A and B are shown apart, each in its own frame.
Chain A
Amino acid sequence: MDPLESIKATFFQECDELLTDAEQGLLALEAGDTDPETINAVFRAVHSVKGGAGAFGLEDLIRFAHVFETVMDMLRSGEMHLTDDVAKTLLRASDVLADHVEAARTGGKVDEARSAPILAELQALAGHEGLDDDGDGGLDGGEIDFTPLTLSIEEDAAPLAPPVPEIPTAQVWEVYFRPRAEMYAKANDTALVLRELARLGKAEVVLDQSDLPTLDHLAAEHAYLSWTIRLETEADEASIREVFEFVEDDCDLTIAREGEEPAQAAPADDFDLAALLAKAHAAPSEPEAPAAVVEPPPAAAAEVDVAALIARAQEAAPIIEAAKPAEPPRAATPAAAAPPPAAAAAAAPAAPPTATIRVDLDRVDRLINAVGELVIQQAMLSQRVLESGLARSSDVALGLEDLELLTREIQDSVMAIRAQPVKSVFQRMPRLVREVADMVGKRVRLVMEGENTEVDKTVIERLSDPITHMLRNAIDHGLETPDERQEAGKGAEGTVKLAALHRGGRIVIEVSDDGKGINRKRVRGIAVNKGLIAEDAVLTDEEIDNLIFLPGFSTAETISDISGRGVGMDVVKRSIQALGGRISISSEPGKGSKFTMSLPLTLAVLDGMVLSASEQTLVAPLSNIVESLTPRSEDVHFIGGQDAVIRIRDTFVPLIDVGVSLGFRDAPIDPASGVAILVESEGGGKAALVVEAIQGQRQVVIKSLEANYQQVPGVAAATILGDGRVALILDVDSLVSNSRRKGGRPEKRMAAA
């Protein structure tokens, strides 16, 4: 890739990080953080966005970032105080800044209707400072373009004469240059200045060391020398002056055309011009001054010649002044400025060691796939060995056991490589919440917890949609308007909490609000009206709450722009189930609701119980299994002569014949002849799966059925077992809920399927 394009890609990548930093800083500020470093961090982030944008000439982005930065700078310097309103404006500004970055990335345009008002608000905050200069970011032209040129000193050593329109004519200039000690203290170097000057044309340099005191009066870091340069060049005064750009304030300098009074050309400094003039003119004519005169050729050899000049000047001085260093600061320099020893330079890596490396995700994915195959192969091998009749204590079997442990360890480590904190998803949410809140006219505070909870990247990517939905739902349906809240004796601002945690080998995402809770009467009424439940159905509160996940259910009286568009919670639930996840809701009237979503930590492997049903091999995720038991006939009862339940201790649990549910056979087997696996679904519902036998427990590599075949109800995915057979992985949740709905309302069987 073109290196510039690659840097541009880096820039946009960095922008994402900077925008996140800025947003998080602003959120902290909004929440009352008063640490100046927080303001600083936001300032730096915006500043860096602007800096990079400047380098690429992204004008719109620069313009917006500039005003934003100005406001941050005013906050930073204490010129402006951070009020709640300012914080809110800045947060919205960070959203618009993100829009500008996105527009720059895609070459599109930002929505002016969104950007302009915020820009105006920022400008209002910045006052005159936001309006006066926009040159900072490079809008003043000239230096916007970063055009990489292959440059080297040698190539570039030709006279810097720029292509000026008029025919350049060489002129002779007289330059008087007397460094002050400060110039050397800042590591500037006369030799380099003279070298630069020599690049402009033909230079005759005369050293005046008449001010050098005797050795006993010599101060090590004082400056005693001055130079007069007769320069024949086509360059104008500005170009000459530019050579002295870095040292101008730390030296006495006059630049004049030969024969002219330098007074006109001299900077309006406060040094004694007359004295200088006298000196300048006196210097070359002083007979005892050892004048080293060199005429460096303008091209490549310039450096060498000036160096020689300096060397000679330095040699010359000691002759006169009895071995005094001619240029004190330089004398102090060599040891320090010497290049590092070759060995050290060679041993030193190009960059300081860092604790992290960046690896292409493709490579990690390949590694994970390979490890998946390794796990399968290892399982196959174990099985073969087992079948071969080797003793468990044989060396081969023992070796295999070690191999199994190692394989497991490798797998865990490899999965950990791909694990990422959910932060990357969470950090997109504050903006969403602000926008949704604005749209529905509610005031919302988002609290996030557990952002560092790690989960496999395959899962991370798919968290975003469900979380977005749950948050929208919480704001749109869960929270009340500020007025309603105040009537209910709550603060006008509602709180929505987004939390992530690990529980039982799964990642749990909770979205809770302190709103009005689910209106169960209404939910039930709607469900009955829509024919989702029977009018006389007896449902627990929890079951009523979870009705909102039924297909076609929507409680919003007007389908708003936010939660509407036909995408209901049923879609959310289905997409979560497709990931082997579960979602449920609990609610307390007047106090709020809580969505709980749980997903496997990875979509790559699964700990499962291998089962047989109807001569098929199936795998039930271990995370769903509570216990397994052999049903006794006297514990099995039939409700209405049809739906079997089993009594486990003091509760009755529906029996689900897996063979029948998956369509392997028509009639259920006698539960007492098989094994019952007590499973628990995310909704808290329990059921007992009836299968013929349990084969064992093992870790399996998940192969998506959808990717390879199609979605099958009751089946979450497939896997390849040790003996090479394909086994289906059960979707326990859908099995349980299907059987429940079947029991509750037979005609819904089709819809459920």
Chain B
Amino acid sequence: MTKTILTIDDSRTMREMLNLALVQAGYRVIQAVDGVEGLEVLQAEGADVVITDINMPRLDGFGVIEGVRANPVHRATPILVLTTESDATKKDRARKAGATGWIVKPFNPEKLIDAVRRVAA
């Protein structure tokens, strides 16, 4: 069964990079451009893993994490946050909010797939 990954990022570049790496690794990818759309898409289509950026318009990554964890249907969906090396505080905040893991940008496909595999059943 192909696993579905929902990527939430306001940067088209980043979405395409994630898409390339994930699709090459055999995942099905759905994309959302901000947190609000991400939660809507998750609600409508479901996903096996959510990968979300932190800085986004409308609803940021923390909001996504809180939204997913507060959703009785999707609360157990693993969430990976995209962070950068210097964002230690953001990573901690994301963890506290319930992030399953994180991907440090800039990532290479290997690291990305590693991270996904570590949280995807």
Decide if A and B are genuine partners: yes
Binding site for B on A (CB under 8 A): 3-4, 6-7, 10-11, 13-14, 40-41, 43-44, 47-48, 51-52, 54-55, 133, 135-138, 140, 143-153, 156, 185-189, 191-193, 196, 243, 245-246, 249, 329, 332-333, 336-337, 339-340, 344-345, 348, 350-352
B73 in complex: contacting residue of A143, A196, A336, CB < 8 Å: A336
Known A-B contacts A14-B11, A336-B73; A41 and B57 likewise in contact (beta carbons under 8 Å): yes
Q: Contact at B17–A7, with CB atoms within 8 Å? A: yes
- Distance in angstroms from B11 CB to nearest chain A CB is 4
Q: Provide the residues of chain A in CB contact with B98, threshold 8 Å.
A: 185-187
Size of the chain B interface, CB-CB below 8 angstroms:
63
Nearest neighbor of A157 in chain B, beta-carbon distance: B117
- The answer to whether B25 and A44 have CB atoms under 8 Å apart is no
CB distance from B106 to the nearest CB of A (A): 4
Task: Report the nearest B residue to A11, measured CB to CB.
Answer: B13
A143 with B99, Cβ < 8 A, contacts A7-B17, A192-B120 known:
no
* Chain A residues positioned under 8 Å from B85 (CB to CB): 135-136, 138, 140
- Shortest C-beta distance, A325 to chain B (Å), equals 14
Say yes or no: B4 contacts A10, CB within 8 Å: no
> Does B37 belong to the interface (CB within 8 Å)?
yes
Q: Compute the total of residue contacts between A and B using a CB distance below 8 Å.
A: 179
Contact A151 B113 (CB under 8 A): yes
Contact (Cβ within 8 A) A51 B30: no
C-alpha spacing A185/B79, complex, angstroms:
11
Contacts of A147 in B (CB 8 A): 108-109
Given contacts A136-B86, A192-B119, contact A336 B74 (CB under 8 A): yes
In the complex, the chain A residue whose C-beta lies closest to that of B38 is A352
With contacts A187-B77, A245-B101 taken as known, whether A148 is within 8 angstroms of B107 at the C-beta atoms is: no
B84 A51 Cβ-Cβ under 8 A? yes
The interface residues of chain A lying within 8 Å CB-to-CB of B11 are: 14, 48, 51-52
Nearest 4 Cβ contacts at the A-B interface: A246-B101, A136-B86, A54-B106, A340-B46
Picked from B12, B107, B118, the residue with its CB within 8 Å of the CB of A10 is B12
- Report Cα–Cα, A284/B25, bound state, in Å: 38
Assuming A135-B86, A339-B1, is B121 touching A189 (CB within 8 A)? yes
Query: Which A residue's beta carbon lies closest to that of B68?
Result: A187
A44 touches B57 (CB 8 A): yes
With A135-B85, A188-B78 already in contact, 7 other A-B pairs whose C-beta atoms are closer than 8 Å: A3-B20, A138-B106, A146-B106, A148-B24, A149-B108, A186-B98, A339-B3
Q: How far is the CA of A10 from the CA of B72 in the complex (A)?
A: 37
Asked if A10 meets B56 with Cβ closer than 8 Å, knowing A186-B98, A352-B32, the reply is no
Residue of B with least CB distance to A15: B13
Closest A residue by C-beta to B24? A150
Q: Once the chains bind, are B13 and A7 in contact (CB under 8 Å)?
A: yes
A43 to B, closest residue via Cβ: B55
Hey, which chain B residues are within 8 Å of A189, CB to CB?
78, 119, 121
Shortest distance from the beta carbon of B9 to any chain A beta carbon, whole Å: 9
Say yes or no: is B93 at the interface (Cβ < 8 Å to chain A): no
A138 vs B105: C-alpha distance when bound (angstroms): 8
Q: Which of B12, B25, B40, B78 is the one whose CB lies under 8 Å from A14?
A: B12
CB distance from A470 to the nearest CB of B (A): 34
Report the separation of the CA atoms of residues A544 and B118 in the bound assembly, to the nearest whole angstrom. Answer: 77
Verify A148–B21 contact, CB threshold 8 A.
Answer: yes
Is B109's CB under 8 angstroms from A348's CB?
A: no
What's the least CB distance linking A426 to chain B, in Å? 22
Q: For residue B69, which residue of chain A has the nearest CB? A: A185
Q: Is the CB of B121 within 8 A of A192?
A: yes
A186 contacts B99, C-beta separation under 8 Å: yes
- In chain B, positions 63-121 with a C-beta closer than 8 Å to chain A are 69, 72-79, 84-87, 95, 98-102, 104-111, 113, 117-121
User: Beyond A135-B85, A340-B4, is A51–B110 a contact (Cβ under 8 Å)?
Assistant: no
B14 at the interface (CB under 8 A from A): yes
The reply to whether A143 and B111 contact each other, CB–CB distance below 8 Å, is: yes
* Residues on B with beta carbons closer than 8 Å to the beta carbon of A249: 95
Nearest-neighbor residue (CB-CB) of B73 within chain A: A336
Q: Do the beta carbons of A7 and B30 come within 8 Å of each other?
A: no
A352→B40 contact, CB < 8 A:
yes
Kindly provide the distance from the CB of A312 to the nearest chain B CB, expressed in whole angstroms. Answer: 17
| B77:A145 contact, CB within 8 angstroms | no
- Bound state CA distance, A249 and B92, in angstroms? 10
A147 and B113 CA atoms in complex are apart in Å by 13
**Chain B minimum-CB-distance residue to A339:** B1
Q: Establish whether residues B104 and A146, one from each chain, have CB atoms under 8 Å apart when the complex forms.
A: no
Are A156 and B119 in contact, with the CB atoms below 8 A? no
A336 and B77 in contact (CB under 8 A), knowing A44-B55, A136-B85, A156-B113? Answer: yes
Chain A residues positioned under 8 Å from B77 (CB to CB): 187, 336-337
CB distance B113 to A246 under 8 Å? no
- Which residues of B are found within 8 Å of A245, using beta-carbon distances? 101, 118
Measured CA separation A143–B76 after assembly (Å) = 30
Cα distance, A192 to B101, chains bound together (Å): 13
Q: In the bound complex, do residue A151 and residue B24 qualify as a contact, i.e. CB atoms below 8 Å apart? A: yes
Contact residues in A for B84 (Cβ distance below 8 Å): 51, 54, 136-137
Distance A149 CA – B20 CA, assembled complex (angstroms):
10
Q: Which of B17, B25, B41, B55 contacts A146 (CB 8 A)?
A: B17
Q: Which residue of B lies closest to A70 (CB)?
A: B86
User: What residues of chain B lie closer than 8 Å to A188, measured between beta carbons?
Assistant: 78, 100-101, 119
Q: Do the beta carbons of A351 and B30 come within 8 Å of each other?
A: yes
Task: Determine the residue in chain B with the shortest Cβ distance to A3.
Answer: B20
In the bound complex, what is the Cα–Cα distance between A379 and B118 (angstroms)?
A: 68
Contact A187:B24 (CB < 8 A) given known A55-B105, A147-B108, A352-B30: no
Whether A146 and B107, one on each chain, are in contact in the complex, defined by CB atoms closer than 8 angstroms, is yes
A48–B24 touching, CB < 8 Å:
no
Which residues of B have CB within 8 Å of A348? 30, 44-45
How close is B69's CB to chain A, nearest CB, in angstroms? 7
How far, in Å, is B28 (CB) from chain A's closest CB?
8
Q: How far is the CA of A140 from the CA of B85 in the complex (A)?
A: 10
List of A residues within 8 angstroms of B75 by Cβ: 187, 336
CB distance from B19 to the nearest CB of A (A): 9
The yes or no answer to B51 lying at the interface (CB within 8 A) is: no
